[in-house]
Amino acid sequence: MFVSENLSVNEKGNLTINGADTTVLAEKYGTPLYVMDEDMIRKHCRTFRKSIETYYDGQGMACFASKAFSCKEIYRVMQQENMGIDVVSSGEMYTAFKAGFDMSKAVFHGNNKSSEEIDMALEMKVGRIVADNIFELETLDKKAKEKGVKISVLLRIKPGVDAHTHSFISTGQIDSKFGFALETGEAFDAVKKTLECPNLEFRGLHCHIGSSILDTQGFVAAAEIMMKFIKQIKDELGFEVSELNLGGGFGIRYVESDDPLPYDEFMNAVAKVVNSYCKENDVKRPFILIEPGRSIVGPAGITLYTVGGRKTIPDIRTYVSVDGGMCDNPRYILYQAEYDAVVANKASEPKTEKVTIAGRCCETGDMIGENMSLQHCEPGDIIAVCATGAYNYSMSSNYNRICKPAVVFVNSDSDRLVVKRETLDDIISNDI
Ligand code: LLP
The number of helix segments (H) and strand segments (E) in the chain equals 12, 21
CA-to-CA distance for 78 and 65, rounded, in angstroms?
11
131 Cα: distance to centroid of ligand 1 (angstroms): 17
| pLDDT confidence of residue 178 | 87
| pLDDT confidence of residue 160 | 83
| pLDDT confidence of residue 177 | 83
- The SS3 assignment for 24 reads helix
Question: From the candidates 45, 278, 361, 362, which is the catalytic residue?
Answer: 362
Q: Identify any residues that bridge with 322 across adjacent strands, giving them in sequence order.
A: 307
- Ligand 1: nearest atom to the Cα of 294: 14
Q: Contact at 8 Å (CB) between 379 and 341?
A: no
| pLDDT confidence of residue 176 | 80
Question: Whose C-alpha lies nearest to ligand 1, atom 21?
Answer: 169
| pLDDT confidence of residue 344 | 98
Rg (CA), the chain: 23
- Angle of helix 134-147 relative to helix 115-123, nearest 10 degrees, comes to 50
- Is-catalytic flag, 361? no
249 Cα: distance to centroid of ligand 1 (angstroms): 6
Q: Contact at 8 Å (CB) between 396 and 327?
A: yes
CA-to-CA distance for 422 and 414, rounded, in angstroms?
23
Instruction: Say if ligand 1 is within 6 A of residue 156 CB.
Output: no
Q: What strands, in cross-sheet order, belong to the sheet with 20-21?
A: 7-9, 15-17, 20-21
**CB within 8 Å of 398: residues ≥ 6 apart:** 327, 404, 422, 427
**CB within 8 Å of 341: residues ≥ 6 apart:** 357, 368, 369, 372, 374, 383, 384, 385, 386
CA-to-CA distance for 117 and 193, rounded, in angstroms?
22
The predicted model scores a pTM of 0.97
Instruction: Say if ligand 1 is within 6 A of residue 71 CB.
Output: no
Q: How far is CA 427 from CA 70, 303, 418, 432, in A?
A: 19, 21, 19, 12
Mean pLDDT in runs of 10 for the chain (432 residues)?
A: 96 98 98 98 98 98 98 98 98 98 98 97 98 96 97 94 65 79 94 97 96 92 95 97 97 96 96 97 97 98 97 95 98 97 98 98 96 97 98 98 98 97 98 98
CA-to-CA distance for 294 and 335, rounded, in angstroms?
15
